[in-house]
Structure 1
Amino acid sequence: MKNYLKNQIIYQVYVRNFTKEGTFNAFNHYIKYIKDLGTDIIYFLPVNTIGKKDRKGDLGSPYSIKDYYEINSELGSLEDFKNTISLIHKENMKVMIDIVFNHTSKDSVLLNKHPKWFYKDKNGNINTKASDWTDVYDLNYLNNDELVNYLVDVIKYYIDLGIDGFRFDVASMVGVNFYQALKEKVLSKHPEIIILGEAIDSDFNNYLRSEGFKVCDDPTLYQNGFDLLYQYNNFKYLKEYLETNNLLSLTKFKLLKSYEYAFNPENALRIREIENHDQKRIIEYTT
């Protein structure tokens, strides 16, 4: 565990929406401003090419990735991205990027080359485990060393570009065999790399397990290289309190928070938030 992270500020950036231009080059003008806010780490939402098949909206979701090795040209070129990384480092900040290894777009380059790497439903169709994720297909990690090795190489590629950390989308749904390989082949050689996980909420976790799917619990993620996890295991009670002012909900939140310290590894760290890009903004609770 990296205890220094307790006092670090992570600033999240969605390049497409951050400026009128929606590009790395336009964002660069704000790096010094973000530094002056006290930021230690700039975390970018996915910067890869977005799939077109069944995409959500005209622009598509950045979490529906077509090619892990390709930068979304709407944001800029690879050289533009490398320049942004360099400028952030010059301000003594780290760069973290979003990694989406649970699923890909429906027109992913991997689907054409490696259809066996994808999850199939009970009818034998390539699909996703979440019914409302209509623009993606899930990857299948079961007995799939080729997929694991491919994705480990993706991480190595971005480390070579200068990336300092990775935020894993729906980290609980990615195969533990990938995290074990990542820890052995990458983190053992690059212990400075920061690993943040979006651990899923308890209700979704229970649903997936009831359907027979494998899910990584929080202790497993911590034991396999994660430095930070979301607080989704108890977030619903915090939301209930913010929505209703019911003190019982706040008590449940505090109780589960104390369980975290008791049952997770020593010095395990959580990202604490009252809002994020998947949840209501705090102003919605106060109006």
Structure 2
Amino acid sequence: MSAAIRIAVAGASGRMGRMLVEAIVNAPDCELVGALARPDSPALGHDAAAFLGKTSGALITADLREGLKNAQVLIDFTRPEGTLAHLAACRELGVAVVIGTTGFDDAQKAEIAEHAKHLGIMMAPNMSVGVNVVMKLLDMAARALNEGYDIEIVEAHHRHKVDAPSGTALKMGEVVAAALGRDLKQCAVYGREGVTGARDPSTIGFATVRGGDIIGDHTVLFAGTGERIEISHKSSSRVTYAQGSLRAARFLVQHGAGLYGMDDVLGLS
């Protein structure tokens, strides 16, 4: 039997972090060896699996080197600035990284690409297997519906989400725009108010909803004359992101340096 994949989790005391910890602890081929949190976290010093009534042996720490010293892979769903700091340490220590963080700007994405020349990085705005299958469906739909259809992307998330539109919605827009031969930066419309005039058919519209505890809903609408096609994905639990992240970790330990996506992990590329 092969050795378990040694995984560390960033933001281990948060909502997503705990979901990742639970998935790792329950996976027979994975071992939780590190758990990172902010220096002001009240969870520091506690076993990362204590909330499950279990002992993992991984104590939550704010010390990057301590949290990463035994890890093969770090899974990070934190904030852009934190993720970039973690990446620098992972590059130095030779730890591969699964990035589920969203909200990176172009300069930060370029920094990630530079790190990927030296270590394996799997980066995706959504780790759900279903969402990544939807991305392929959107590519097919956009190519077939390339004339006479207006495209709108609607996404909804919980009240605590800090970036908008979501990284998943933006990725959906990028997939559709690429299939149509457009540049999303040139054709995206992120809000409408007042007298906007008739809709420009070359645009891709985005609408954002924030409220309650919505995990993540995304719908891409292709509205034509006499019909409309809606391709939707709705998440009812973060467990889908956690399980997708473990698939990404398994992928990275089998591959070298490079910047990968979930389409690579799932064999959809």
Q: TM-score, normalised by structure 1?
A: 0.26
Name the structure with the higher helix share: 1
Name the structure with the higher strand share: 2
Structure possessing the higher relative contact order (Cα contacts under 8 Å, 6 or more residues apart): 2
Q: TM-score, normalised by structure 2?
A: 0.28
